[in-house]
């Protein structure tokens, strides 16, 4: 199907598993253009792609899809894989503030890179609850781990 057509979603989801990274990247981009919520599970699986460009394009696509992507993104924020957590937080930069409580929880237990991404997301959301990040950020500054500070 043509880009922008929901009938193309199934083929594009198959393309997310193609051996060529450029095909996977293009499929993730096209799924973002289409914006069909049925693509969310496949795009979330792309967070584990070996190519960082594919992971970032999947994040951008999920951000474009919006509200339907939030539950899966929130699960990804709690992943044991730091790359998956980081990409999920990036995707949430553009989403509504309904994800705020989970982001605040994730901030408290995240590694340094993920904390920076979450803090950036919270600031961009500009939600009144963002004031609550002051304590976890202060705790991070007192961390013994230099990368966290």
pLDDT in tens, the chain (149 residues): 455 566 799 999 999 999 999 999 999 999 999 999 999 999 999 999 999 999 999 999 998 898 888 888 878 877 888 888 888 888 887 665 666 676 777 777 667 777 777 777 677 665 555 556 666 776 777 777 766 55
User: In angstroms, rounded to a whole number, what is the distance separating the alpha carbons of residues 37 and 22?
Assistant: 23
Q: Is the pTM of this model over 0.75?
A: no
Give 147's DSSP letter.
T
The dihedral through the CA atoms of 15, 17, 115, 65 has a sign that is positive
- Write the CB contacts of 14 (distance below 8 Å, at least 6 apart in sequence): none
User: In angstroms, rounded to a whole number, what is the distance separating the alpha carbons of residues 78 and 56?
Assistant: 18
User: In angstroms, rounded to a whole number, what is the distance separating the alpha carbons of residues 13 and 36?
Assistant: 11
């Amino acid at each position: 199907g043509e880009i922008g057509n929901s009938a193309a979603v199934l083929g594009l989801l198959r393309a997310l598993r193609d051996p060529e990274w450029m095909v996977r990247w293009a499929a993730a981009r096209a799924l973002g253009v289409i914006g069909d919520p049925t693509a969310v599970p496949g795009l979330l699986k792309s967070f584990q792609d070996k190519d960082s460009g594919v992971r970032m394009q999947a994040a951008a696509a999920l951000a474009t899809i919006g509200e339907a992507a939030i539950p899966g993104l929130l699960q990804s924020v709690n992943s044991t894989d730091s790359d998956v957590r980081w990409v999920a937080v990036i995707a949430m930069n553009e989403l509504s503030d309904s994800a705020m409580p989970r982001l605040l929880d994730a901030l408290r237990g995240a590694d340094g890179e993920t904390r920076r991404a979450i803090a950036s997301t919270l600031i961009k959301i500009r939600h009144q609850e963002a004031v609550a990040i002051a304590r976890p950020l202060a705790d991070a500054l007192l961390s013994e781990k230099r990368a966290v500070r």
